[in-house]
């Protein structure tokens, strides 16, 4: 916990934290809840708190480390399932084609003892979509296998995660329309805003700040707050984004207090990430 606080405060480099975290997991891999927390922190450190120049190498290191823990886990155990889920998420952000190929083999049952239940199958499907290894028709076929409310949410996420500019535009338009149910918007935004797709998403930063006040006034609090908070361009972690955030707050002193609070909180998170990235770069 102390090391995690140090990373978030820009006192410990994300690169060093990743090494410490993987070492800790090797020593406590049977403690599933602890492992789940640590892997979540490791992913956040890599995606938000690492220097951009280091990020891809750290993504590969994280996926490799989790893959090793998955291979060492007892077949059929909760530990194996926990590391399988963690590896799948890490592999989707990794630039390594070998990691992407392994996702496909996992879906086909290549990991001995690992039960591919509905939840894990959808997780893999969504991550395969994120790395452009699953077509829209293939995702719809998966939905036919699980034509439930959860299946529809998972398919919505997978379709939104596909790394195609036209697809992202269509998803963005659905998000800001406010016509979707809140649980659908959650899935759309989560799929839309993938950390490995920064290049595709940078064009939406200005659009976000241009439309949030109109969204807040037009839609219900539940839907507008979801859009404003979850669609905030946190992965466009640059000084330029921070400046645009500060400018919006300066230019909209009379905006709704709730809206300003969300922007201010995300501004603080973005500022923290930039400080941490500077630490990792030094």
φ, ψ at 30 (rounded to 5°)? -80, -15
Q: For residue 56, give the 3-state DSSP assignment.
A: helix
pLDDT confidence of residue 29: 59
The pTM assigned to this predicted structure is 0.94
Backbone angles phi, psi at 13, to 5 degrees: -65, 140
Positions of the chain with pLDDT lower than 70, given as ranges: 29-35
pLDDT of 200: 96
Q: How many CA atoms lie within 13 A of 245 on its CB side?
A: 25
Taking alpha carbons only, the member of 44, 95, 54, 93 closest to residue 279 is: 54
- Predicted confidence at residue 33, as pLDDT, reads 65
Tracing tokens 């926990």 back to the chain, one arrives at: 82
Q: What is the predicted pLDDT for the residue at 227? A: 96
For 110, how many CA atoms within 13 A lie in the half-sphere containing its CB? 13
The predicted-structure confidence for 70-127, as pLDDT tens digits, reads as follows 999 999 998 999 999 999 999 999 999 999 999 999 999 999 999 999 999 999 999 9
**Domain boundaries, given as residue ranges, for the chain:** 6-107, 198-282
H/E element, 100: helix 97-107
pLDDT score for 31: 63
Q: Are 159 and 187 in contact (CB under 8 A)?
A: no
């Amino acid at each position: 916990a102390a090391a995690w606080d140090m990373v978030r405060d820009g006192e410990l480099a994300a690169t060093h934290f990743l090494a410490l975290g993987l070492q800790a997991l090797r020593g406590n891999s049977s403690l599933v809840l602890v492992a789940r927390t640590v892997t979540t922190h490791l992913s956040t450190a890599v995606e938000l708190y690492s220097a951009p120049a280091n990020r891809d190498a750290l993504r590969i290191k994280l996926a490799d480390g989790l893959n090793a823990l998955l291979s060492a886990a007892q077949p059929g155990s909760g530990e194996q399932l926990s590391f399988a889920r963690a590896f799948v998420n890490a592999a989707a952000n990794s630039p390594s084609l070998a990691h992407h190929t392994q996702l496909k083999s996992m879906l086909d049952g290549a990991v001995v003892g690992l039960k591919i239940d509905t939840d894990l199958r959808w997780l893999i499907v969504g991550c395969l979509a994120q790395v452009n290894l699953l077509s829209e028709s293939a995702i719809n076929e998966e939905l036919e296998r699980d034509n439930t409310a959860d299946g529809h949410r998972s398919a919505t996420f997978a379709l939104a995660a596909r790394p195609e500019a036209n697809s992202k535009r269509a998803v963005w338009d659905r998000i800001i329309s406010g016509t979707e149910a809140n649980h659908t918007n959650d899935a759309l935004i989560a799929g839309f805003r993938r950390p490995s797709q920064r290049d595709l998403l940078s064009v939406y930063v200005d659009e976000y700040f241009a439309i949030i006040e109109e969204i807040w006034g037009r839609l219900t609090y539940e839907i507008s707050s979801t859009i404003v908070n979850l669609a905030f361009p946190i992965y466009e972690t640059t000084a330029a984004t921070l400046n645009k955030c500060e400018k919006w707050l300066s230019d909209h002193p009379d905006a709704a207090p709730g809206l300003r609070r969300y922007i201010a909180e995300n501004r603080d998170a973005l500022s923290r990430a930039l400080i941490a990235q500077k630490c990792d770069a030094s």
